[in-house]
Amino acid sequence: MLGDRRGMTRWPCSLLAVVALVCAGGCGGDDDGVDTVAAAGYMAVIDDFLPPVPADGTRPLVYVARLGDEPFPLEDQIEMIANVEEAYDLRFVDDVAAAVDDEEVEAPPRDDALLLGIGTISSAVPHTVRVEVYTAAGSVDAHKLTLSVRDDVWRVAAREPIDPEVLVGDE
């Protein structure tokens, strides 16, 4: 009878240990969720700023630069390009200078393109991100976007104008 009680006592403790391990593995931190939906979140940001597609069928050129130290992962870049490749020529640049004609003092983006500088989407709710838009010589608009995500679908919930800080042209 004593052996039976010990077995019963150990079983709930073992069960608690298994439950704790499952929760620790399956209930990861915010970084896990951000890594798996990063391209979708950033695509929602890019979509919010894409220019209209011309009637002649040409694909507008859009440069995307990362605001900050970390570039977009290559897998995310490929996914974002694939999402818009029929309508837009989306190009990721590591340096803003690659998208701007450096022979002029305050040059516009090359080839009449749009240059988007995108920060890091915060992993905590509310999901916010800084976006700077450079369209013409000396013209930079900056925005703080608030994103929402539901069922792995990201969308821009709010856009607030802010002062530009990073891209070329702001003095």
Q: What tokens were used for 96?
A: 């803003």
What is the Cα–Cα distance from 150 to 73, expressed in whole angstroms?
23
Of 65, 40, 51, the closest CA to residue 127 belongs to: 40
Q: What is the pLDDT of residues 57-96, one digit of tens each?
A: 899 999 999 998 788 999 999 999 999 999 999 999 998 8
Instruction: Give the pLDDT of residue 165.
Output: 85
* pLDDT band (50, 70, 90) for residue 25: very low
Q: Where are the domains of the chain?
A: 29-162
Q: What tokens were used for 43?
A: 């695509």
Instruction: Give the pLDDT of residue 45.
Output: 97
Instruction: Give the pLDDT of residue 16.
Output: 33
Cβ-count burial of 48 within 10 angstroms (0-12 exposed, 13-18 middle, 19+ buried)? middle
Q: What tokens were used for 163?
A: 């002062």
Helix (H, G, I), strand (E, B) or coil at 85: coil
Can you give the pTM of this predicted structure? Answer: 0.74
* Dihedral sign, Cα of residue 78, residue 81, residue 83, residue 85: negative
